[in-house]
Amino acid sequence: MNKAIFLDRDGTLIFDEDYLADPEKVVIIPDTEEALCEFRNSGYMLIIISNQSGIGRGIFSEEAMALVNKKVAELFKAKGIEFDAVLICPHAPEDNCECRKPSPKLLLDAAAKFNIDLANSAMIGDKLSDAQCGITAGCKYNIFLNNGKQSPPDSQEIYVVSNLLGASSIIFKK
């Protein structure tokens, strides 16, 4: 079975611009590439799992989101990093869909499609809903990136770090 690092996009891989619809505003968070290389070199698949409620709210189109995702992929590919998949929930919170984090649906779908052992995988994101998603899916590591936008969770099931290098130090027990 495969193991994976599931990553939120905004606030985890790239700086969070509210309702990002302009590919020119994509900026990679420092030290992200180094951590992603560590994960990839250790045999982890890299899968983006992202809520994009701006689509459901009519703020931007699926096409605009696709252009942003394309830019993210291009910037990381230039650094030698490729993602195995990008899974998006396009719904607004009030849609009560099955795929919006903290629901584990997108992780479970990826696990089934790519034969991923969730018990040896990690979910990393900058919102409590990211960590809750990983816990519900059965991920071994559920990591909250504390960027100051949300209070860190008080849970023994959730690791709190300041960046992806901190997440890699937990996963690799540095």
The residues annotated as belonging to the active site are 8, 10
From 133, 106, 119, 126, select the one nearest 47 (Cα to Cα): 106
From 16, 75, 8, select the one nearest 47 (Cα to Cα): 8
From 1, 15, 5, 43, select the one nearest 134 (Cα to Cα): 5
Q: What distance in Å separates the CA atoms of residue 76 and residue 55, rounded to the nearest whole number?
A: 24
Task: Report which secondary-structure segment, H or E, holds 108.
Answer: helix 105-114
Cα–chain-centroid distance for residue 12? Answer: 6
